[in-house]
Amino acid sequence: MKSKILILFLGSLLLVGAVSPAMAAEEPVGERINVLIEEPFTYPAGEPFFVGHGWSDAPLPQVPIGRFGFTLEVDGVDQGKGSLLNAGPGLTGGFWWRWWVFNFPEGMPAGDVTFTGHWLAPCEWAVEWFAYPDTCRTPNAMVEVLTAEHTVTFT
């Protein structure tokens, strides 16, 4: 049952193709590159784009959404904190969203680039909802519950 909830949760993240400017601390530039999509993908070299991912409180009950996180690596290099966006129920159909946006206003040069996303959750939630294989001696410790990698060919 919990694996179905995780699939539904990740599916809800896939449906969000862009971030509303009303949500943005830093407005996303260009098109979104989605790390969760595994199909081969090309994008024009030198064109702006952003990577945006994060968490929603749907369909999980009483999620402390502010305690979850997301990090991004590009070809193995950590991209820092990104721009954190929060949106409440009025903008998102009844759910809270917490997104991290990583803008690439200059785009990328031609070639293959690997984007790796890391979704983080408090250990107590990771064990209960995401089948994290630990005993959580520290329930609030942040642990990785999902890693997704996507290689994009810039042409």
Q: What φ, ψ does residue 36 adopt, rounded to 5°?
A: -75, -15
Q: What is the pLDDT of residues 18-37, one digit of tens each?
A: 444 444 457 899 999 999 98
Q: Tokens 């040069």 sit at which residue? A: 109
Domain coverage including residue 84? 2-154
Q: Answer with the residue of higher pLDDT: 14 or 115.
A: 115
User: Quick one: DSSP state of residue 26?
Assistant: S
Query: Please, which residues bridge with residue 70 across strands?
Result: 119
What is the per-residue pLDDT across 35-65, written as a single tens digit (0 to 9) for each? 998 777 899 999 999 999 988 766 555 666 6
pLDDT at 110 over 90: yes
Q: Mean pLDDT across the stretch 110-114?
A: 97
How many distinct structural domains can be found in the chain? Answer: 1
The pTM assigned to this predicted structure is: 0.77
HEC states along 83-146?
A: EEEEECCCCCCCCCEEEEEEEECCCCCCEEEEEEEEEEEEHHHHHHHHCCCCCCCCCCCEEEEE
